[in-house]
Structure formats: structure tokens, C-alpha cells
Amino acid sequence: MFIAMNRFKVMSGSEEAFEQVWKNRDSKLDEMKGFVSFHLLRGSRNEEEGYTLFASHTVWESHEDFMAWTKSQNFRDAHKNAGSNKVLYQGHPQFEGFSVVEGA
């Protein structure tokens, strides 16, 4: 099992617009081999720095399945409009990939 997360620091006031981008997208992840699940997660608000942490959270059967997706037309289609929306971020999205050590 492999978990791919992208962390987004969404500027306070842009949270709803950010959620709408994800709710309105036309995801075809479930056409990909090895795709298990996708969730958009909302973390806590950092009052001091003025952002809310969000994370996309995708579970794949293996790292290889994830890598195959990143090289696919499906991936390019999913990201072709990235950057064109009005959501304001602090910095760039930060990718983190995880492999399972323990647990079931």
C-alpha cells in the first residue's frame, strides 16, 4: 500500500473556493490500475500565519501503480487546469509519499 499526499496551505478566506475546485473536478482516478481511494482532507487553521492546512490523500495498491499514474494521460488531464483557479496559497503544494511499515 502506498499513500500519496499533497499538502496545501490555503489562505484564510479561500477555503470554500478551494473545496469547490475539488468538488467540481471530473476525477477519473478510479479508471487507473491499483487505485484504492481518494479523500480531500481539511486540517487545522493556523491563525497566526493565516492559512488552513488541506491535504489530498490518495491510496494506491503500490508505489508502482502511483508512478504509472503520474506518467499517464489521466494525470495530465487532471492537472491541466491547475493554477487557473482563484484560490490563494502560501507557497507551493508539498508532496509527500508514504509506504506502509506496520498495520493492516
Residue 89 binds its own copies (CB under 8 A): no
96 grid coordinates: 509527500
Q: For Cα atoms 102, 103, 104, give the angle at the middle one, nearest 5 degrees.
A: 135
Minimum separation from the CB atom of position 5 to its own copies (A): 9
Minimum CB distance to its own copies, residue 49 (Å): 15
Q: How far is the CB of 15 from its own copies (least distance, A)?
A: 9
Q: Is 34 in the site for its own copies (CB under 8 A)?
A: no
CB of 72 to its own copies, least distance (A): 20
* DSSP assignments along 31-48, one per residue: GSTTEEEEEEEEEEEETT
The one among 42, 76, 79, 92 contacting its own copies by CB under 8 A:
42
**Residue count, binding to its own copies (CB under 8 A):** 26
CA distance 86 to 64: 33
Using alpha carbons, select from 95, 90, 75 the residue that is nearest to residue 18. 90
- Taken in order 22, 26, 28, 30, the sign of the CA dihedral is positive
Interface with its own copies by CB under 8 A: which residues? Answer: 1, 3, 19, 22-23, 37-44, 53-55, 57, 96-104
